[in-house]
Amino acid sequence: MEKSGLLDLRIFPFFQTIPPWELANIKKVCRYQKFASGTKILDEGEEPKEFILLLEGQIAVLKMHQGKKKTLFSLDPGQTYGEVEILNGTPILATLVGYQDFQVMFVPKEVLLRLIGLYQGFAREIRDMYSRRAYVLLQQGVCSTPFGRIVTFFNTKGGGLLTKKWGKRVVLVDLNLSFGDQSVILNLPIDKNIFELSRERPPLKIEKIEAQLTRHRSGLQVLLPPPLPELSEKIRPEFVEQVLDLLRAHYDYVIVDTPNHLTDLEARVLEESDLILLMMTMELTFIKNTKLLLELFQRMKIPRDKVKIVLNRAFKSLGLEPSRVESSLRYAISHFIPSDGEVVIPSINNGVPFVLQKLENSPLIFAVEKLCRRIVGEEPDKGTWNMFSLIREVLGL
Distance CA 61, CA 66 (A): 17
Strand partners, 42: 96
Q: Point out the least confidently predicted range of 190-204, 270-284, 321-335, 379-393.
A: 379-393
Cβ neighbours of residue 212 under 8 Å, at least 6 residues apart? 192, 193, 194, 196, 197, 200, 223
Strand partners, 195: none
Q: What's the whole-number mean pLDDT along residues 293-303?
A: 87
Number of CB atoms found within 10 A of residue 392's CB: 10
User: Is residue 111 predicted with pLDDT exceeding 90?
Assistant: yes
User: Is residue 10 predicted with pLDDT exceeding 60?
Assistant: yes
Considering the domain architecture, whether residues 159 and 203 belong to the same structural domain is answered as: yes
72 residue type, one letter: L
Considering the domain architecture, whether residues 107 and 201 belong to the same structural domain is answered as: no
pLDDT greater at residue 208 or residue 285: 208
Grouping H, G, I as helix, E, B as strand and the rest as coil, residue 312 is: strand
User: Is residue 188 predicted with pLDDT exceeding 60?
Assistant: yes
Domain end, chosen from 125, 144, 163, is at 144
Classify residue 377 by its DSSP letter: T
**Which pLDDT score is estimated for 135?**
77
**Which pLDDT score is estimated for 341?**
59
Classify residue 12 by its DSSP letter: S
Grouping H, G, I as helix, E, B as strand and the rest as coil, residue 105 is: strand
Distance CA 93, CA 86 (A): 11
User: Is residue 26 predicted with pLDDT exceeding 70?
Assistant: yes
User: Is residue 229 predicted with pLDDT exceeding 90?
Assistant: yes
Percent of the chain with pLDDT over 90: 27
Interval 360-378: pLDDT, tens:
666 677 777 777 777 776 6
Q: What does the mean pLDDT of the chain come to? A: 80
C-alpha closest to that of 158 among 189, 193, 194, 186: 186
The angle formed by the CA atoms of residues 34, 177 and 367, to the nearest 5 degrees, is 125
**Which pLDDT score is estimated for 360?**
66
Is 24 inside a domain boundary?
A: yes
Domain end, chosen from 144, 162, 193, is at 144
Domain end, chosen from 144, 179, 213, is at 144
Q: Point out the least confidently predicted range of 74-83, 236-245, 383-392.
A: 383-392
Is 4 inside a domain boundary?
A: no
The domain that holds 94 is classified in CATH as: 2.60.120.10
C-alpha closest to that of 102 among 138, 59, 133, 132: 59
Domain, as residue range, for 103: 9-144
Strand partners, 50: 108
pLDDT bin (cut points 50, 70, 90) of residue 380 is low
What is the value of pTM for the model shown? 0.68
pLDDT bin (cut points 50, 70, 90) of residue 395 is low
pLDDT bin (cut points 50, 70, 90) of residue 175 is very high
Considering the domain architecture, whether residues 335 and 371 belong to the same structural domain is answered as: yes
165 residue type, one letter: K
Q: Give the distance, in angstroms, between the CA of residue 298 and the centroid of all CA atoms in the same chain.
A: 21
User: Is residue 213 predicted with pLDDT exceeding 90?
Assistant: yes
**Which pLDDT score is estimated for 228?**
94
User: Is residue 167 predicted with pLDDT exceeding 90?
Assistant: no
pLDDT greater at residue 383 or residue 200: 200
Number of CB atoms found within 10 A of residue 99's CB: 25
**Which pLDDT score is estimated for 378?**
62
Considering the domain architecture, whether residues 264 and 246 belong to the same structural domain is answered as: yes
Distance CA 147, CA 145 (A): 7
Q: Point out the least confidently predicted range of 158-167, 277-286, 336-345.
A: 158-167
pLDDT greater at residue 371 or residue 171: 171
User: Is residue 163 predicted with pLDDT exceeding 70?
Assistant: no
Considering the domain architecture, whether residues 79 and 134 belong to the same structural domain is answered as: yes
Cβ neighbours of residue 290 under 8 Å, at least 6 residues apart? 278, 280, 309, 329
pLDDT greater at residue 342 or residue 337: 337
User: Is residue 300 predicted with pLDDT exceeding 70?
Assistant: yes
Distance CA 85, CA 91 (A): 6
The domain that holds 352 is classified in CATH as: 3.40.50.300
pLDDT bin (cut points 50, 70, 90) of residue 133 is confident
Please give the C-alpha separations between residue 314 and each of 24, 265, 333, 380, in angstroms, as whole numbers.
72, 30, 11, 20
Considering the domain architecture, whether residues 296 and 158 belong to the same structural domain is answered as: yes
Contact between 214 and 188 (Cβ < 8 Å): yes
Helix (H) or strand (E) run with residue 111 in it: helix 109-118
pLDDT bin (cut points 50, 70, 90) of residue 62 is confident
